Amino acid sequence: MKAYLFLCLSLFISFAGQAQSEVEMADQFRADGKIYVVVAVILVILIGLFVYLLRLGHRISQIEKALKKDA
């Protein structure tokens, strides 16, 4: 377990170190003002996923209640 935790920690540190470098594509999007479109699309996708999961959880709880009622 400790080896797994150490591996995850070392991977996180290496990824964090790579995140400090500048990305030319992101700089170009910022310069053109298109970064807001990218952020908006990502937010719409994430909100859609969260709404889907909430509705799915609600449907599952309704099915569970119906199964408990019949049993």
Q: Alpha-carbon distance 41 to 35, whole Å?
A: 10
Residues 35, 26: contact at Cβ < 8 Å? Answer: yes
Going by the DSSP 8-state scheme, the letter that residue 1 receives in this structure is -
Structure tokens at 9: 């920690």
Residue ranges covered by each domain of the chain: 2-70
9-65, pLDDT tens digit by residue? 777 776 655 555 667 877 888 888 888 999 999 999 999 999 999 999 999 999 999
- pLDDT score, position 47: 97
- pLDDT score, position 40: 94
- pTM of structure: 0.58
Half-sphere exposure of 5 (CA within 13 A, CB side): 2
- φ, ψ at 12 (rounded to 5°): -65, -40
